[in-house]
């Protein structure tokens, strides 16, 4: 009998007597296992899944890295990461210690991958993991294609008849639309699309997943979710931190590649997409791709008028002086890399025609916050215009993603007393009300990848559609005259200006002007 994708999907999941779903036995092979991502995110997520009983009993973690290291040193480093980043002692990790090992090899060396194949086959026999392998690329992006090629050459791409194999790829997936397409082509020479899990950790956050539930499960809001009732939408991802030693990476990336192409556009898709026919992977992702294609493309003129880029200068945060971006380690003295982006996006479809979506992200901003704010149109006629109430503020729905996950609704109410005085109040829901421990994003995403559920991962056409949108912006910025320094708050009189903003502020003045031209203003969370 032929082995189908559906058969493998069923084999990826087990169900216990209580009905709890968990992955079938599998092996997690992490490339870049000695790096920061593994210690900060992946291992704490595995530890939490194991503590909750969501990992299978037959499980193996194999770390792959270039650094010479034995199993004891690798395990010790993982336990230290748990204590540092998960607030845990080493005892709960003890069950997995004997199921964790390290392999040292070079990513561009075929012999290393032949040795790795032998090791995985031996571990599979010893631990009974059924030939099921989940490869995780926690490496610099330039290693993705090389590792994928080597996996294929070593026969590690997987055969459905022997178990399943999948590969998880971190962002950024490419640097522009052309490089993303080339990377997709390279990966598809070894893995089928249903085996490739392009991860965006924002999609693992509970509040992000709740956007669709909130929209589609509540009859009082779905009828209002369109151009007739919504005035505009603001999506903000603000970071207080600077580079934290990642200057070399950030110089190559910048805010547009690091945040806009993935996190911000993913949030926009969930807020604006049409309701899917069902909540399965392809139905959800089909609607996200349709939405990305409906966003009005950028041209040379709209890059100038609808996009603002900035770079933080020195300033003070919490009373402490902080350096400007160009003074950070690993940053060029005349760097043109943006640390702030604000954009006005228009969606050309029936639901959202004429409704602007304003998105922004930046480093060294006053608060760490991620949120979606939906501003509704004012009532068509105000019966209170001649009273003391004055001008009424529009109703606003705020979906808080971090740090205080929840939902708030701003509406007007009468202040007690004989006069008609109206005041805005805020009805608030916090996820803390559930009282149970919330899962970290990587927990959910690792679990889904192990069970073959790709709903919260990005598909090939989705990634390329997002790059199609932002690549013209990158091209427009490439025309900036890089010989000029930051002077008068902007760089380059013949290209797109790079606006300086003080660390600890909400970004350059030009970002405020982007909304002011439309008679609107940014929220200050």
Nearest to 165 by CA among 136, 202, 140, 126: 136
Question: Interhelix angle for 43-51 vs 71-85, to 10°?
Answer: 80
Cβ atoms of residues 342 and 509 within 8 Å: no
CA dist., res. 35 & res. 21, Å (int): 31
Q: What are phi and psi of 318, to 5 degrees?
A: 55, 35
**Strand 307-313 vs strand 498-502: parallel, antiparallel, or unpaired?**
parallel
Return d(Cα 376, Cα 410) in angstroms, integer: 10
**How many Å separate Cα 315 from the centre of its chain?**
28
| DSSP strands (E only) in 85-131 | 100-104
CA 145 – CA 181 distance, rounded (Å): 12
Q: Please tell me the distance from the alpha carbon of residue 154 to that of residue 26, in angstroms, as a whole number.
A: 19
User: Where do the DSSP E strands lie in 319-415?
Assistant: 320-322, 340-346, 356-362, 369-376, 396-402, 406-414
Q: How far apart are CA 338 and CA 251, in angstroms?
A: 9
- For 144-159, give one letter per residue: b (16+ CB within 10 A) or e: bbebbbbbbebebbbe
Residues 272, 372: contact at Cβ < 8 Å?
no
Angstrom CA distances, 37 to 41, 97, 136, 341, 403, stand at 6, 19, 11, 25, 20
**Number of neighbours of residue 343 by Cβ within 10 angstroms:** 26
Task: Please give the Cα distance from 290 to 476 (Å, whole number).
Answer: 25
Q: Residue 442, CB half-sphere, CA atoms under 13 Å: how many?
A: 18
Whole-angstrom distance, CA of residue 136 vs CA of residue 201: 14
Residues labelled catalytic: 263
Return d(Cα 88, Cα 369) in angstroms, integer.
Answer: 26
Q: For the chain, how big is the Rg over CA atoms in Å?
A: 25
Backbone angles phi, psi at 53, to 5 degrees: 75, 25
Distance separating alpha carbons of residues 507 and 501, to the nearest angstrom = 5
Strand locations in 158-255, DSSP E? 165-169, 196-198, 230-238
Q: Return d(Cα 195, Cα 284) in angstroms, integer.
A: 18
Report d(CA 382, CA 451) in Å as an integer: 54
Distance set, CA 442 to CA 192, 206, 218 (Å): 23, 11, 28
């Amino acid at each position: 009998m032929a082995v189908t994708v559906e058969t493998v999907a069923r084999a990826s999941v087990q169900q216990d007597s209580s009905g709890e779903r968990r992955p079938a036995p599998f092996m997690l092979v992490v490339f870049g296992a000695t790096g920061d991502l593994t210690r900060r995110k992946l291992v704490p997520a595995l530890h939490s899944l194991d503590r909750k009983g969501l990992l299978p009993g037959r499980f193996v973690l194999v770390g792959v890295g270039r650094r010479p290291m034995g199993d004891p040193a690798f395990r010790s480093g993982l336990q230290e990461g748990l204590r540092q980043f998960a607030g845990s002692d080493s005892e709960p990790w003890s069950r997995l210690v004997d199921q964790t090992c390290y392999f040292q090899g070079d990513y561009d060396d075929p012999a290393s991958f032949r040795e790795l194949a032998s090791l995985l086959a031996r571990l599979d026999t010893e631990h009974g993991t059924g030939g099921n392998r989940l490869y995780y690329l926690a490496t610099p992006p330039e290693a993705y294609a090389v590792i994928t090629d080597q996996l294929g050459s070593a026969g590690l791409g997987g055969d459905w008849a022997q178990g399943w194999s999948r590969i998880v790829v971190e962002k950024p997936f490419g640097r522009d639309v052309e490089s993303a397409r080339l990377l997709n082509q390279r990966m598809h020479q070894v893995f089928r699309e249903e085996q490739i899990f392009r991860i965006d950790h924002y999609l693992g956050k509970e509040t992000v997943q709740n956007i669709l539930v909130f929209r589609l499960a509540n009859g009082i809001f779905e009828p209002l979710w369109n151009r007739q009732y919504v005035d505009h939408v603001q999506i903000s991802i603000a970071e207080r931190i600077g580079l934290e030693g990642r200057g070399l990476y950030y110089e190559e990336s910048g805010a547009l590649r690091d945040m806009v192409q993935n996190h911000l556009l993913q949030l926009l898709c969930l807020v604006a997409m049409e309701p899917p026919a069902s909540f399965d992977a392809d139905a959800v992702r089909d609607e996200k791709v349709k939405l990305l294609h409906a966003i009005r493309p950028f041209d040379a003129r709209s890059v100038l008028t609808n996009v603002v880029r900035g770079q933080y200068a020195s300033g003070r945060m919490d009373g402490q002086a902080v350096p400007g971006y160009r003074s950070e380690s690993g940053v060029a003295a005349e760097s043109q890399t943006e640390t702030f982006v604000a954009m006005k996006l228009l969606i050309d479809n029936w639901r959202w025609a004429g409704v602007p979506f304003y998105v922004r992200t930046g480093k060294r901003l006053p608060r760490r916050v991620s949120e979606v704010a939906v501003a509704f149109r004012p009532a068509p006629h105000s019966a209170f215009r001649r009273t003391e109430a004055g001008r009424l503020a529009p109703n606003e729905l705020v979906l808080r993603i971090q740090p205080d996950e929840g939902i708030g609704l701003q509406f007007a109410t009468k202040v007690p007393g004989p006069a008609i005085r109206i005041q805005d109040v805020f009805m608030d829901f916090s996820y803390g009300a559930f009282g149970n421990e919330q899962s970290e994003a990587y927990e959910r995403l690792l679990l889904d990848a192990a069970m073959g559920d790709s709903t919260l991962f990005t598909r090939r056409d989705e990634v390329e559609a997002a790059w199609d949108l932002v690549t013209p912006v990158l091209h427009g910025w490439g025309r900036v005259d890089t010989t000029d320094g930051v002077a008068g708050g902007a760089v380059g009189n013949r290209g797109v200006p790079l606006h300086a903003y003080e660390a600890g502020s909400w970004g350059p003045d030009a970002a405020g002007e982007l909304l002011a031209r439309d008679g609107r203003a940014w929220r200050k969370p």
